[in-house]
Structure 1
């Protein structure tokens, strides 16, 4: 297939043949970028977030001077918005007490320092202290030693610096997923982290074009190159090449606009991905087989219907919560989005129309 400049026509191979991208797809790039810009947190938001962490650090260090606080998740990985809550990990040696005892003590300390609505939620899968910071209005969840999340946050933040389109694509996909109701793990759909992890792969495999492999190479490079960052968590080594200043403009030969990349993303997940056989491997920057992972059948609560391998906890499927009902909903949403981007007169409006659940 020709890769030549503006005149080229983008195509994907579907289950029924080739599909050609609409000729005017590029005209929607500015609208999509406007949406992306509107999602970015303000400088004031980031400043208040920093002040909150300073306040928490003062409270914690009085009791545990050697403990460390780490921001993690959307508020720290560059994919956050002005609506993102603050997630904090307290890294601490637990010693002779239990994690629950430590959380209860943390809640006492924060109440004593006049934080609002402090609550220790010890029965959650990841036990937390939840609180409200009246000064900023932020809701904040604090967990103990969830260091895989800290490592994953750094990984995503580093990826985001390699090519600005990766951040744009993943942020827009996450925004779409929230509005369409497929970004809620408690409903059996996908987490924000899962969306960040698999967003690039729609573009990697959608086009039969060499220069579109840039996103795969981003992942493959930082995970497969000689590690410059290592954190050991529960005997698992989280290691990758994090000197991302050396990888900037890595995908410069690829000229796809955000509109073309988004078109490729939705068409890949609607028409190309083999849900029966394939696993998205962020670690390897490619698709691997369910058979290779032994993810062919349900194991416990892990259903393995849409498989995304965690880059560090490689036995962890980020799509494990998806069930037979929600996989149908997710695939229908991919197909709807693909149709909107291919045919709608105003896809930037229609694509993000909120889905309302029937009561």
Structure 2
């Protein structure tokens, strides 16, 4: 049997044949340019807006409402002539999951100065139900501190204290002029608290001055009117919460606090006295102007606040987060690094004796020579 012959057809010649490959498609995210001047990707704007809207805690608000209701009922039962005014962040609708309650009372039946009135209240309230841990602090504004036992909510009580009433009214009115203010204010306060910008006890900004910074910015971009006393207002700015938050950080990362002061009452930034405080945020009610940011007195803290604004702007620009940096941990790490740098410098300055004295033996270094006025040396 002869072997079968198999013929394999040849492939057609490909010489000169052009094969078109699909071109590489570069996907560019769709961006929006907001009315406040910032430009960001649509997806980033949506995620940032979603994160801002999620900051409110309804569970904590329910606790605040319960504690406020019990406190008002208690005061009315003990002091029927009391005039109760809730102040602070919860009253203004800008509360955080860590917020407490603030009240300013006016009780005509109480006699004496402010401290005497608060001490009298403490004696009458300390054995009542639902409240515990009563104590009074003496200061520029004496305060009676209490705690609602059921919710563990702290309550700060002052007597005939007018400034918090005015400040709370300003925040409430700003929220009525534009509903975005309250949500943005919660976001800005969250950032300021976690980044360390807000902490008046440690020489940083207080909560109200942070709110005034936000009001000033919203006045500049047309969300709030320059004249807050006006009752009729409808903003033409329809920017999202994410764009406005990013714009706030960008605005103050470039703001010249050294030469300008902020006036919410006039709706603009003004020239600052060279001898004024490091940051000047005028109180919108007091005349002559009172600086709400007077707690910032140290230059290194002032520089740190400016750095936090720049860091937040950079974080939002490069990611989609709120720009909350770990302020305290970074300060601690920088301090450790600085200590180690000083240690290395000391070792390099005296390499022969440093290691032996400080590391191995632990002996104290010799005191420097002291020479009297007549030239004689004082022996150690």
From 45, 52, 56, the counterpart of 1:36: 52
What is the root-mean-square deviation of aligned Cα atoms in Å? 2.6
- What do residues 161-213 of structure 1 show as CA deviations (whole Å, max 9, x unaligned)? 222222222221111111101110011111111111111433554xxxxxx33
Counterparts in 2 of 1:25-104, with a 5 A limit? Answer: 26-42=42-58, 44-93=59-108, 96-104=111-119
- Segments of 5+ residues of structure 1 without an aligned counterpart are 1-5, 13-19, 206-211, 226-240, 299-303
Q: CA deviation at 1:99?
A: 0.9
Which residues of 2 match residues 1-359 of structure 1 at below 5 A? 9=33, 21-24=38-41, 26-42=42-58, 44-93=59-108, 96-114=111-129, 115-121=131-137, 123-202=138-217, 204-205=219-220, 212-215=221-224, 217=225, 219-220=226-227, 222-223=228-229, 225=230, 241=231, 246-247=232-233, 250-251=234-235, 253-271=236-254, 273-291=255-273, 296-298=274-276, 304-314=277-287, 315-323=289-297, 324-342=299-317, 344=318, 346-348=319-321, 351-356=323-328, 357-358=331-332
Query: Using the alignment, how far apart are the partners of 1:37 and 1:108 within structure 2?
Result: 43
Partner of 1:231: none
CA offset at residue 144 of structure 1? 1.1
Cα deviation for residue 94 of structure 1 reads: 7.5
2:84 is paired with a residue whose SS is: strand
- CA apart distance, 1:104: 0.5
- Between the two structures, name the one with larger relative contact order (CA 8 Å, sep ≥ 6): 1
Q: Residue by residue, what CA displacement relative to the aligned partner does 1:198-249 show, whole Å, maximum 9, x if unpaired?
A: 11433554xxxxxx3333x1x51x32x3xxxxxxxxxxxxxxx5xxxx43xx
How far 1:35 moved relative to its partner? 2.7
Distance 1:54 1:176 in 2: 30
Q: Sort the Cα spacing of 1:262 and 1:76 in 2 relative to 1 into closer, same or farther, 3 A.
A: same
Q: Distance in 1 between matches of 2:78 and 2:218?
A: 49
Q: CA separation of 1:95/1:23 partners in 2, compared to 1, >3 Å: closer, same or farther?
A: closer
Residues in 2 aligned to 1:40 and 1:68: alpha-carbon distance in whole angstroms: 30
State the aligned residue count.
299
- State how far apart, in whole Å, the 1-side matches of 2:60 and 2:93 are: 13
Instruction: Report Cα offsets for 1:313-352 as digits up to 9, x if no partner.
Output: 242111111121211010011111122222x2x3316x12
Q: Which runs of 5+ in 2 are unaligned?
A: 1-29, 336-380
Shift of 1:153: 0.5
Query: 1:341 and 1:105, CA in 2 relative to 1: closer, same or farther beyond 3 A?
Result: same
1-side partners of 2:35 and 2:62: how far apart? 44
Contact 1:169 1:200 in 2 (8 A): no
Q: Secondary structure at the match of 2:210?
A: helix
1:47 is displaced (CA, Å) by 4.1
Distance 1:98 1:158, change over 3 A: same
With the length of structure 1 as denominator, give the TM-score of the two structures. 0.75
Distance 2:81 2:305 in 1: 44
SS in 1 for 2:116: helix
TM-score, L = length of structure 2: 0.71
- 1:230: which partner in 2? none
Relative distance call for 1:9 and 1:62 in structure 2 (3 A) is closer
1:152 Cα offset (Å): 1.3
| 8 Å Cα contact 2:102/2:155 also seen in 1 | yes
Deviations 1:140-164 (A, max 9, x none): 1111111220121122012112222
Is the contact between residue 182 and residue 330 of structure 1 (CA under 8 Å) also seen in structure 2? yes
Structure 2 Cα separation of the partners of residues 183 and 7 of structure 1: 33
Alpha-carbon separation, structure 2, partners of 1:178 and 1:127: 24
CA 1:98–1:11 in structure 2 vs 1: closer, same or farther (change >3 Å)? closer
